[in-house]
Structures are given as C-alpha cells and as structure tokens.
Amino acid sequence: MKLDENAKLLVQLRQAQYDRLCQPSNKIHQIIPSSSHQQHPSESLNEYDLAEKVLYNLSDMTHMSSNGPEQVISSEAIHHNLGIMIHNESLTVDTL
C-alpha cells in the first residue's frame, strides 16, 4: 500500500539526511556532485529523489482518499494499529 511505501521512503530519507550531515563540512557544501561519481544501481536514492517520491505519494494518497480511506490503507492494518482484534468467526448471541 502507498502508506507502507511512504513510511519506508521516509526512513530512507532520514538516513540519507543523517549520512549527509555526518560528513565533514567541506563535503556538505558541494552542490554539484563530481562527474567521476556515478550512482550505482545498488546505491540508495539521494535526498532530493526520496523527498520527491514522498511528495508524489502524499499527493497520490490525497487523491485516492477521496474514494475512501481503504484506498490508502487496508482496514486490517487500521484495526491492527489500533489494537482491535477481529476474528472472522460467526458470533452467537445468548438470549436470556
């Protein structure tokens, strides 16, 4: 679901920002990456790309939510996060 994907992207974005801020100050201020540095497919996305994907997902979820919240997150996930346990058993009611 989009919400799970966005949560993962936010974790990646936080890590990318942490990694950037932990670099020596002379590397932080490099605006244009050197041409010798090519991003390998195994490398994570940069902050800009991650932030762009998060923004796209939030926009997409906003449009999807107009059709109902189940388009953004499953009802099972909502119940789980709220601590509501629903068993798919038929309930019997005792009458007095």
Please check whether residue 17 lies inside any domain of the structure.
yes
One-letter amino acid identity for 90?
S
Tens-place pLDDT, residues 34-67: 444 445 443 456 899 999 999 998 888 888 777 7
Give me the number of domains the chain comprises.
1
Residue 56 lies in a domain: yes
Structural domain containing residue 11: 2-24+47-82
In this structure, which amino acid lies at residue 79? H
The verdict on residue 59 lying in a domain is yes
Q: What pTM was computed for the model?
A: 0.54
Report the C-alpha gap between 85 and 78 in whole angstroms: 10
Considering the domain boundaries, does residue 90 fall inside one?
Answer: no
Q: What percent of the chain has pLDDT over 90?
A: 19
Residue 18 domain flag: yes
First to last CA, the chain: 45
Flag whether 34 is in a domain: no
